């Protein structure tokens, strides 16, 4: 006797599991806890087997019958439906591991040793916001050039040309990783940049021509938080990246040796960086120590002194001094690079000395190990020349011709 919807719905559990048959090997198994499971009893190559067809009421009687018929059709073609189901599960699992998002996240983790946590977070954020919504669930091997182009064109339409270029670059790296790990055969991002609008290349704002001496004087006269002028002075004296300075810890700094060793995990290129400190920089650090020397960080957070201050303190301070749109934290690096290169012949500085102090090091691992101490004496002398030069600029004893 075949089942009907009412019989299945009203079937009550008993002390032991019981079956209600529908014919053709299909039955519903009712457990003592009330759970109802569709199953198919069948024989394949002389062996009795059972195939799970789903849970009632998620799978209705009509759906269960359809699944039974599909399974029996497989049997008629000498295919074991149970084995076919397991094969499909394995393929689905492999496919899930080979989606664009899965491969992209694996690529990011694979690069973690080469990146700072901040760069890793920024890379993931870019992909999560602009690549995963359209491509994330797609098998990476099936993504076409037109599909990828549609994704980056959507970013272009927002007017975010720089972001579109960055997303394409990172997607290209994901596809190259997919090829290397045998998850896809082609890189649809290859040469696609030629199909995108070129973003207007802008540089970090650097003080306009001739304005650097006044900026240095304004920093000395800054009326905000007492720690902020020390941060601004050290940005000028050391020309490190904003995050490298603001996250500095006292254990990294040896004032007796006049050295600051920034650990690899806080450097953009994940390599330690030694900053020789001028007499002026040592003096600023000593003044800062009077306020924060008992803390872990040179510039502790006002709300939670166990943490470093926000990187934004540099930009906010520059804004309060009237330099919004004219100067940024990175502008100190740009200014130092420009002026040092313009004076390198006069001061007897080798270009490599400037590049090494800016932490523009080669990616080759063995070369980088040598670079750690390369030109150290020259860099030490250069940093003192630079600090003395800044003193002359503040005093108005030197006139500079900065590039606009």
Task: Choose, from 351, 370, 392, 403, the residue flagged as catalytic.
Answer: 370
Chain centroid to CA 186: 24
**What distance in Å separates the CA atoms of residue 125 and residue 122, rounded to the nearest whole number?**
5
Q: CB under 8 Å to 377, separation ≥6 — which residues?
A: none
Same domain for 229 and 341, yes or no, is: yes
Mean pLDDT confidence for 87-94: 76
Domain that holds residue 131: 100-195
The mean pLDDT of the chain is: 87
Q: What's residue 57's pLDDT?
A: 93
Residues 6+ apart with CB under 8 A from 269: 114, 359, 361, 363, 368
Residue 354 falls inside a structural domain: yes
Instruction: Read off the pLDDT of residues 128-142 as tens digits, 9 standing for 90 and up.
Output: 999 999 999 999 999
Active site annotation includes 42: no
On whether residue 200 sits in a domain, the answer given is no
pLDDT score recorded for residue 313: 93
Set 89, 93, 217, 360: catalytic member: 360
Query: Is 383 inside any structural domain?
Result: yes
The token pair at 182 is 């045998």
**To 5 degrees, how large is the angle CA 293–CA 295–CA 297?**
95
Query: Which residue, 166, 195, 224, sits at the end of a domain?
Result: 195
Do 256 and 359 sit in the same domain of this protein? yes
Q: CB neighbours (10 Å) of residue 183?
A: 21
Question: Is 161 inside a domain boundary?
Answer: yes
The pLDDT > 90 percentage for the chain reads: 58
CA nearest to 277, candidates 311, 239, 226: 239
Q: Which of 19-23, 211-215, 255-259, 269-273 has the lowest mean pLDDT?
A: 269-273
* Residue 259: CATH number of its domain: 1.10.443.10
Instruction: Answer yes or no: are the C-beta atoms of 166 and 131 closer than 8 Å.
Output: no
pLDDT for residue 53 is more than 70: yes
**Residues in the chain, total:** 404
Do 155 and 276 fall into the same domain?
Answer: no
- Same domain? For 72 and 14 the reply is yes
From 133, 163, 195, the end of a domain falls on 195
Q: Is residue 201 part of a domain?
A: no
Q: Is 6 helix (H, G, I), strand (E, B) or coil?
A: helix
CATH of the domain at 51: 3.30.160.390
| Residue 141 domain flag | yes
In the set 183, 271, 333, 394, the catalytic residue is: 333
Total tally of structural domains belonging to the chain: 3
What is the pLDDT confidence band of residue 96, given thresholds at 50, 70 and 90?
A: low
Annotated active-site residue in 65, 170, 271, 330: 330
Of the residues 55, 82, 109, which one is the last residue of a structural domain?
A: 82
Q: Is the pLDDT of residue 366 over 50?
A: no
Give the pLDDT mean for 184-204.
73
User: 197 an active-site residue?
Assistant: no
In a domain, 388, yes or no: yes
C-alpha to C-alpha distance for 236 and 230, rounded to whole angstroms: 10
Concerning whether 90 is annotated as a catalytic residue, the answer is no
User: Does the annotation mark 370 as catalytic?
Assistant: yes
- 172 and 234 inside one domain: no
Q: Does 275 share its domain with 352? A: yes
**Predicted pLDDT of residue 403:** 42
Residue 105 appears among annotated catalytic residues: no
Catalytic one among 170, 241, 271, 394? Answer: 241
Q: Which of 49, 138, 176, 268 is catalytic?
A: 268
37 is catalytic: no
Distance CA 101, CA 122 (A): 16
Are both 274 and 379 inside the same structural domain? yes
Residues 65 and 134 in one domain: no
352-355 CB contacts, 8 Å cutoff, 24+ apart: 353/378, 353/379, 353/382, 354/382
Q: Does residue 144 sit in the same domain as residue 289?
A: no
Does residue 38 have a pLDDT over 70? yes
Q: Looking at the structure, do residues 114 and 55 belong to the same domain, yes or no? A: no
Asked if residue 63 belongs to a domain, the reply is: yes
17 with 148, same domain: the answer is no
Q: CA end-to-end span of the chain, whole Å?
A: 91
pLDDT for position 207: 67
Q: Would the pTM count as exceeding 0.75? A: no
- Beta carbons within 8 Å of 355's beta carbon, 6+ residues apart: 361
Q: What value does the mean pLDDT take over residues 266-287?
A: 90
Identify which has the larger pLDDT, 383 or 115. Answer: 383
CATH number where 144 lies: 1.10.150.130
What span, in angstroms and rounded, lies between the C-alpha atoms of 100 and 139? 6
Same domain for 38 and 187? no
């Amino acid at each position: 006797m075949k089942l009907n919807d009412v019989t299945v719905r009203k079937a009550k559990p008993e002390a032991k599991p019981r079956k209600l048959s529908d014919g053709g090997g299909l039955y519903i198994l009712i457990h003592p806890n009330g759970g109802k499971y569709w199953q198919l009893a069948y024989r394949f190559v002389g062996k009795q087997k059972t195939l799970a067809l789903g849970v009632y009421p998620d799978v209705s009687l009509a759906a269960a019958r359809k699944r039974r018929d599909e399974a029996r059709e497989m049997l008629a073609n000498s295919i074991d439906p149970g084995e076919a189901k397991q094969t499909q599960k394995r393929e689905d699992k492999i496919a899930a591991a080979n989606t664009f998002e899965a491969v992209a996240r694996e690529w990011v983790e694979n690069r973690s040793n080469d990146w700072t946590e901040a760069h890793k977070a920024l890379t993931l954020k870019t992909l999560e916001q602009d690549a995963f919504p359209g491509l994330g669930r797609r098998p990476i091997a099936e993504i076409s050039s037109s599909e990828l182009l549609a994704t980056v064109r959507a970013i272009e339409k927002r007017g975010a040309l720089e972001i579109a270029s960055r997303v394409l670059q990172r997607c290209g790296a994901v596809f190259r990783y997919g090829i290397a790990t045998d998850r896809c055969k082609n890189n649809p991002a290859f040469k696609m940049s030629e199909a995108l609008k070129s973003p207007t290349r802008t540089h970090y704002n650097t003080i306009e021509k001739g304005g650097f001496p006044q900026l240095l004087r304004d920093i000395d006269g800054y009326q905000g938080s007492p720690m902020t002028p020390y941060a601004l002075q050290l940005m000028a004296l050391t020309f490190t990246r904003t995050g490298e300075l603001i996250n500095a810890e006292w254990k990294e700094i040896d004032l007796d040796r006049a050295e600051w060793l920034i650990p690899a995990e806080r450097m953009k290129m994940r390599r330690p960086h030694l900053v020789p400190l001028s007499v002026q920089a040592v003096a600023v650090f000593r003044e800062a120590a009077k306020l924060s020397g008992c803390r872990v960080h040179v510039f502790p957070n006002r709300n939670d002194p166990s943490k470093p201050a926000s990187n934004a303190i540099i930009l906010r301070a520059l804004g309060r001094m009237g330099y919004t749109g004219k100067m940024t934290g990175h502008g100190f690096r740009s200014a130092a690079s420009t002026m040092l290169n313009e004076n390198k012949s006069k001061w007897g500085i080798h270009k490599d000395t400037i590049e090494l102090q800016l932490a523009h090091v080669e990616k080759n691992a063995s070369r980088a190990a040598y670079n750690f101490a390369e030109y150290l004496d020259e860099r030490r002398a250069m940093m003192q020349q630079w600090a003395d030069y800044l003193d002359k600029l503040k005093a108005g004893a030197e006139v500079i011709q900065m590039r606009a």
